[in-house]
Amino acid sequence: MDCINSHDTVFKHLTKEQREMLNEQKSCKSYKKGSEIYQEGSRTNGLYCINEGIVKIYKTGIDGREQIIYFAKSGDIIGYRSILSGELACSSAKTIQDSTLCFIPGDMLISLIKNNGDFALDVLQQSCKELGEANSYITDIAQKTVRERLAEVLIKLKENFDIDENNELQISLTREELANIVGTATESVIRLLSEFKQDQLIDLKGRKIRLINIKKLEKISNAFG
């Protein structure tokens, strides 16, 4: 995907000139699976748009345990928060697949926001959406059981990432990563996945997870309304 020229990204309202300027200033790069893009606590002086691949955004907590906040995929932008809030990065970013990312300098971002109101609104929309999701996440973790949250995570992975014709999630995560999304121990994830499998809700083949009974999973995840 060519983020900057796509009509599906935050850059959709740029003028032709702005696009050209951006194309000049950006620098794209390939990253192997597992590469650090930026680190919590560092000063990021630009943002990245994801051309291809998946990047996990996470914080490091107690004992260095990861808490995964979300996954960014093709067309998403990451790393912009710290520039705009004027704080240090509050999270780290690491590729979980081979990926291609474009770097855009921070002053370019600021200048675009100042000079293009529609772009400013699009960036605001992006950050406000993330904020809404974060708020839901807080409530979920605070109130739902691990079982409910795991079911929810599976549903969300299905909604946000590719799935093949058999409802098999194409995103490949370790059990530990799943645990770090849900906010629980690796062993708990393993046990619950086995349960789900026994209950014919999912099927497991190594890291491949196939969703069989989505309705039931939603019911488990839901607890709300």
Partner DNA sequence: CGTGTCGTTGATCCTCGTCAAACGTTGTGG
Partner DNA sequence: CCACAACGTTTGACGAGGATCAACGACACG
The listed partner (a copy of itself, DNA, none) that binds 42, CB under 5 to 8 Å by sort, is none
Minimum distance, C-beta of residue 171 to DNA, in the bound complex (Å)? 13
Distance between CA atoms of 73 and 87, rounded to whole angstroms? 24
Q: Which residue in 40, 174, 37 sits closest to 94, CA to CA? A: 37
Segment lying near a copy of itself (by CB under 8 A), choices 1-9, 20-28, 112-120, 163-171: 112-120
Distance between CA atoms of 117 and 143, rounded to whole angstroms? 39
Minimum distance, C-beta of residue 67 to a copy of itself, in the bound complex (Å)? 4
Distance between CA atoms of 152 and 195, rounded to whole angstroms? 15
Residue 132, both tokens: 């809404």
Nearer to a copy of itself, 51 or 91 (CB): 91
- Is residue 39 at the binding interface for a copy of itself, with CB under 8 A as the rule? no
- Is residue 1 at the binding interface for DNA, with CB under 7 A as the rule? no
- Is residue 141 at the binding interface for DNA, with CB under 7 A as the rule? no
- Is residue 219 at the binding interface for a copy of itself, with CB under 8 A as the rule? no
Contacts with a copy of itself, 171-210, as mask; x by CB under 8 A: ------------x---------------------------
Residue 37, both tokens: 């893009």
- Is residue 123 at the binding interface for a copy of itself, with CB under 8 A as the rule? yes
- Is residue 180 at the binding interface for DNA, with CB under 7 A as the rule? no
Which residue of 175, 208, 210, 216 would you call a contact of DNA, by CB under 7 A? 175
- Which amino acid is it at 42? S
- Which amino acid is it at 84? L
Segment lying near DNA (by CB under 7 A), choices 1-9, 39-47, 115-123, 144-152: 144-152
- Is residue 160 at the binding interface for a copy of itself, with CB under 8 A as the rule? no
**Residues binding DNA (CB under 7 A):** 145-147, 174-176, 183-188, 190-191, 193-194, 204, 206-207
**Residues binding a copy of itself (CB under 8 A):** 59, 61-62, 65, 67, 69, 80-82, 84-87, 90-91, 110, 113-115, 117-118, 120-121, 123-125, 127-132, 134-144, 183, 223-224
